[in-house]
Amino acid sequence: MTAAQGPMRVLGIETSCDETCAAVVGDGRRVLSNVIASQVEIHRKFGGVVPEIASRAHIEALIPVVAEALEQAETPAVALDAVAVVNRPGLIGSLLLGLTAAKTLAWLHEVPLVGVDHIESHIYAACLERERLPFPCVSLIVSGGHTSLYHSEGPTAHTLLGATTDDAAGEAFDKVAALLGLEYPGGPSIERAAERGSPRAVEFTRPWLGADSLDFSFSGLKTAVLYHVRGKGAEAKRRATHLSAQETADVAASFQECVVDVLVGKAMRAAEACGVDRILIGGGVAANRRLRARLREEAESLGLEVLLPPLEYCTDNAAMVAGLAYHYVEAGRTADLDLEARA
């Protein structure tokens, strides 16, 4: 299946949400290209991703982004060994566009097609550019749509240990940012505002959900921020915020610290429960510097290893997709051309 010499070259395509991404990865490790066309500017004025607009933007960006990824990787399409695509979960219209492009390329160049799960690809982001795979470990995936802990025993073998019962961590960042009048997307805005604030200014209650729970809940925290900022009662949602820049920074820092405490605490709990000495993190929120620093500190104090992907592999990208797909091809787990997208 692989070309006679050289690495196995997989083209990855990712269009599950609001970034149009394509990448070429060699042997599941070497990132030969990683191209991302972000739609952040398009969605900013709506304060969130508008699915129909996302689909239209993917249509415009897909072909140039794939062409750019092949060119940067110095890999003509005929030299590809497989084409991988995220086919679940995500915005259905957006997923279908990437899937159609991937099927077309796989069919045209007569190479295997691989359908990849978006969350599983976020876990794999921490494996890129490494000589050895980091399994077994605990994987903490924190993104705009997911907050989950897994016991990971291989690149394609993950057992769910716990997940959010309501809002995802990234979603909480985005909603609290909107509440504070900070720019979309909320995660990076809160992180920036928090740099000038005190994490101890407001003691938000940590949602631990019991001493052994590995589940998460962030909607109560979001409401606590709302009450803190606008006061209680039915009127709170409509009332305007009148915070000074310093107060905004303090609330941002205190909120961020609360989320980080819970994410770090539960990741450590999970590592102990599974008896593993490695913790991997992935997803957009894994780009948060405070979370990265605290994870590193806590892990070090407990003698655990922590795997933090570089920032560009935390948020949505296709390198993690192409890298993961290598292992599916090796295992013969390829897809047919009737592969479907699942929201």
Residues that bind Zn ion (CB under 5 A): 143, 316
**Residue 188 in contact with ligand KG4, rule: CB under 6 A:** yes
Torsion of CA 155, 160, 161, 166, to 10 degrees: 130
Among residues 184, 182, 177, which one has the least CA distance to residue 255? 177
Picked from ligand KG4, Zn ion, none, the partner binding residue 199 (CB below 5 to 8 A depending on kind) is: none
Smallest distance from the beta carbon of 303 to ligand KG4, in angstroms? 27
Q: Pairing mode, if any, of strands 137-142 and 30-38? A: unpaired
**∠ CA 322-327-6, rounded to 5°:** 70
Minimum CB–partner distance for residue 298 and Zn ion (Å): 24
Q: Which is nearer to Zn ion, 170 or 199 (CB)?
A: 170
The smaller minimum CB distance to ligand KG4, of residues 161 and 259, is found at 259
174, 215, 250, 261: which one binds ligand KG4 (CB under 6 A): 174
Dihedral in degrees, nearest 10, Cα atoms 189, 54, 164, 141: -70
Q: Which is nearer to ligand KG4, 39 or 334 (CB)?
A: 39
Least distance in angstroms from the C-beta of 268 to Zn ion: 24
Work out whether 322 is an interface residue with ligand KG4 (CB under 6 A).
no
Residue 215 has a CB neighbour count (10 Å cut-off) of 18
Residue 143 in the binding site for ligand KG4 (CB under 6 A)? yes
For 72, the token pair is 């940067």
Q: Report the partner that residue 257 touches, choosing among Zn ion, ligand KG4, none (CB closer than 5 to 8 A by kind).
A: none
Taking CB under 6 A as the binding criterion, the range among 4-12, 109-117, 187-195, 294-302 that sits at the site for ligand KG4 is 187-195
Nearer residue to Zn ion within complex by CB, 143 or 152: 143
- Shortest distance in whole angstroms from residue 75 CB to ligand KG4: 25
Looking at the Cβ atoms of 199 and 284, the one nearer to Zn ion is: 284
**Which residue type does 290 have?**
R
Q: Are 181 and 241 in contact (CB under 8 A)?
A: yes
Taking contact as CB under 6 A, which single stretch among the options 33-41, 45-53, 198-206, 284-292 is the one that binds ligand KG4?
A: 284-292
CB of 241 to Zn ion, least distance (A): 29
CB of 44 to ligand KG4, least distance (A): 12
Q: Distance between CA 66 and CA 75 in Å, rounded?
A: 11
Q: If binding means CB under 6 A, how many residues of this protein chain bind ligand KG4?
A: 19
| 230: number of Cβ within 10 Å | 18
For the bound state, the minimum distance from the C-beta of residue 88 to ligand KG4, rounded and expressed in Å, comes to 12
Cβ-based nearer residue to ligand KG4, 248 or 288: 288
Write the DSSP string, 80-125: -SEEEEEEESS-HHHHHHHHHHHHHHHHHHT--EEEEEHHHHHHHG
321 in contact with ligand KG4 (CB under 6 A): no
Output phi, psi for 246, to 5 deg.
-70, -40
For residue 339, give both structure tokens.
Answer: 């592969």
The reply to whether 173 sits near ligand KG4 by the rule CB under 6 A is: yes
Based on the shown chain and the rule CB under 6 A, indicate whether residue 28 belongs to the binding site for ligand KG4.
Answer: no
199 binds ligand KG4 (CB under 6 A): no
Distance CA 298, CA 281 (A): 14
Of these partners, ligand KG4, Zn ion, none, which one is at the site of residue 148 (CB under 5 to 8 Å by kind)? Answer: none
CA-closest candidate to residue 256, choices 294, 215, 309, 298:
294
Q: Are 119 and 190 in contact (CB under 8 A)?
A: no
- Site residues for ligand KG4, 288-317, by CB under 6 A, read 288, 315-316
Backbone angles phi, psi at 240, to 5 degrees: -80, 160
Q: Which residues bind ligand KG4 (CB under 6 A)?
A: 17, 143-145, 170, 173-174, 185-188, 191, 283-285, 287-288, 315-316
